[in-house]
Structure 1
Amino acid sequence: MLKAGGGSIINMSSGTSMAGDMQYTAYASSKGAVNTLTRYIATQYGRQGIRCNALIIGLVRTTGGKAQDHLPAPILKILEDNHATGKLGKPEDVAEFIRFLSGDDAVWITGQHLNIDGGFFAHLPTTGPIADFMAGIASNK
């Protein structure tokens, strides 16, 4: 990349690096390291034309992927309900953003952790349960 005069590095991270959970400690810690590495590369190589960003990717539905194969339906429902969009992502959602971030339209974006998660981390963790509670009150009127 240095010889070519620059380029774009896009690291894959995870929402597990952004908030604590009851499991996946080692995985989340490794993604936290990816986030730090992203900023260091952007800082050290930015003046040489190399951009580096990390995508904080949420749960994406894939054919034969983890979401469908390893999570019970009630857990998937909880996850969907806690996305601002009300749904999980598709591989195309991520691919389109990577295409943009790789191209010339994103030349001023570097050193960033960019959430592509359907708004999962856009709200407080209590938003979903409180909305459900309020809906229950409204339906009892």
Structure 2
Amino acid sequence: MKKLILLFTIISGLAFGQIKTEIIDTGEYIGRTGYSYIKKKDNQIDLCYKNIKYSSIMDMDCVSFSDNNSNLENLYKTIVDGMSNPPKEGLLVSIEDTEFKLKFSRHSTTFVKYENGMFISSSGPISKGQIDKLFGKR
């Protein structure tokens, strides 16, 4: 009787417990820092950060754009220039169909994402050293 139950358990485990695996190509990481990273897959750039709008859950948000005309390098230069001479109101950055605002202080910057004029998400403050690391400059 024990052998019959064991055989039934093994057969049902094999019939219903099939596991499928799939390799997911995530692309290459350009840089990571804390809860932010930049990833490149083919010609698509993803700038992802922890959304601090929600304080009790881990919520990541991404800004995606293609790297056709050195968009990533231009974004890096815009951020570094904004940190050295911060504008009072911040900068509205438009890359293709993607828009987000950069808020600056003397020592950090914050990404703020809007859609149709509504606040969607915000990153935490990111320092100059973290920006360099995020964009793969060190």
Instruction: Flag the structure with higher strand content.
Output: 2
Q: What's the TM-score once normalised by structure 2's chain length?
A: 0.26
Larger radius of gyration: 2
- Structure with greater helix share of residues: 1
